[in-house]
Amino acid sequence: MSQPADRPYDALRIIDLTRELSAYATRLFADLGAEVIRVEPISGRADRGEAALPGLGGDVSYAFLNANKKSIALDLESEAGRAVLVDLIASAGAVVIDGEEAALLPLVLSVPGARVVTLISHFGLDGPYAGYLGSDLVTQSLGGITWMSGDPGSPPLRIAGGQAGFVASLYAATATALALYDIEVNGGGAHLIDVSAQECIAHSLQNALQVWDLEGRIPMRGGEGTRDATEQIFACQDGHVFLASPLSMPLSWKALVDWMAEEGHPGGQRLAELDWSDRRKRATRALRDEFRALFESFAANKSKAEMRNQALRRRIIMAPVSGIADLAADPQLVFRRYFHDLPHPAAGRALRFPGAPYRLSEPVWRVDRPAPLVGEQSEELLGRGALHSIAG
């Protein structure tokens, strides 16, 4: 039987001075047992945004990224407040910082002890862009991923949902864990990790950098000339599906053509003709457009759910394009009991949370505490007596 105390990051305290670029990094630790303490001003840190619900303490990003964490409110303008921060850092195995809190770096590094200090910024601590202002769109653009999406006749397009922050957080969390490993296993000294979100994005460009480096080609958004005619989003009766059946996936392609033939659709005959076995031709505008017309006429009377069932049965690489609202009814996610409701007493309701990014055979991942209100754990962490002098 596993003891509740046995979780991967038990006995690790992390001081959290994060914002949108790295808040997810510390949440990953918190979900596996670390005590993650947001240290924020009495009025709350600006990353909370505007409360999405009365009592929530922040917007939906805040609520998601800061679950399982604690909050202590300190006046860091005062000497007493800074002294508490120093004590907290002295008790911690890691400190994670981004945004304006980077100004605290000298103070953080002045506290003795072998710990990991991870600083996440848009462009890194030094270099000609070190003083540049970033944002999700700016950083996705300078990192090279905005270039990769969108329609050829329209501007390049960023990926939705604040992905600069998620990508930077995932690298930051991994790097922090690696440096902790060195301290804990090898007796290594203190480590400073300087994470650049621009570099993180540039590390996530599929094979586009190698395409330039080795073959001197620049991939174009929209996939014309590079992506197979089948690799597109297509309209069906009640929405869209994503299909991929290039010649490199011959079984899926054959199953698709057979299906169309079985239903007496003209695509069954046309797609069996010779020009469809030419890999290069299939990526041209002409064949992409022709395939779209054929497939969309075939799909017009079929629902997303039907298409998915056929994809399963016929082993075609095809899936519905789900909206966020569709996810809660996804049969697989329902079967795996993926979503769960996290009670939020201050907001007077429960919040629907995505489940673990990984299922572990040991019962060590949990989200059991909503994102904290400002200073919610000040008293718990400092003791009643200390509060007055610090909170002023």
Q: Please state the closest distance from residue 392 (CB atom) to other proteins, in A.
A: 28
In degrees, to the nearest 5, what angle opens at C-alpha 20 toward C-alphas 14 and 25?
40
> Under a CB-based contact definition with an 8 Å cutoff, are residues 224 and 284 in contact?
yes
> Would the CA dihedral through 158, 159, 165, 168 be positive or negative?
negative
Q: Please state the closest distance from residue 302 (CB atom) to other proteins, in A.
A: 16
- Looking at beta carbons only, is 75 or 132 nearer to other proteins? 132
How far apart, in Å, are the Cα atoms of 31 and each of 36, 255, 300, 355?
Answer: 10, 43, 44, 11
> Under a CB-based contact definition with an 8 Å cutoff, are residues 85 and 71 in contact?
no
- Looking at beta carbons only, is 80 or 235 nearer to other proteins? 235
Q: Please state the closest distance from residue 238 (CB atom) to other proteins, in A.
A: 13
Q: Which residues pair with 191 in a beta bridge?
A: 116
Q: Please state the closest distance from residue 81 (CB atom) to other proteins, in A.
A: 26
Please give the helix or strand (H or E) that residue 260 lies within, else none: helix 250-262
CB neighbour list of residue 280: distance below 8 Å, 6 or more residues apart: none
d(CA 195, CA 114): 19
> Under a CB-based contact definition with an 8 Å cutoff, are residues 255 and 316 in contact?
yes
- Looking at beta carbons only, is 320 or 372 nearer to other proteins? 320
- Looking at beta carbons only, is 83 or 217 nearer to other proteins? 217
Q: Please state the closest distance from residue 15 (CB atom) to other proteins, in A.
A: 19
- Looking at beta carbons only, is 284 or 322 nearer to other proteins? 322
> Under a CB-based contact definition with an 8 Å cutoff, are residues 190 and 114 in contact?
yes
- Looking at beta carbons only, is 81 or 162 nearer to other proteins? 162
Q: Please state the closest distance from residue 369 (CB atom) to other proteins, in A.
A: 15
Q: Please state the closest distance from residue 385 (CB atom) to other proteins, in A.
A: 34
- Looking at beta carbons only, is 83 or 352 nearer to other proteins? 352
Q: Specify the amino acid at residue 87.
A: D
Q: Which residues pair with 256 in a beta bridge?
A: none
- Looking at beta carbons only, is 43 or 135 nearer to other proteins? 135
Q: Please state the closest distance from residue 359 (CB atom) to other proteins, in A.
A: 4
Max CA pair span of the chain: 83
In degrees, to the nearest 5, what angle opens at C-alpha 143 toward C-alphas 138 and 148?
95
d(CA 343, CA 251): 47
Q: Please state the closest distance from residue 127 (CB atom) to other proteins, in A.
A: 4
- Looking at beta carbons only, is 51 or 387 nearer to other proteins? 51
Q: What is the DSSP letter of 158?
A: P
The pair of three-digit structure tokens given for residue 230, joined into one six-digit string: 């089948």
Would you call 18 exposed, middle or buried from its count of C-beta atoms within 10 A (0-12, 13-18, 19+)?
A: buried
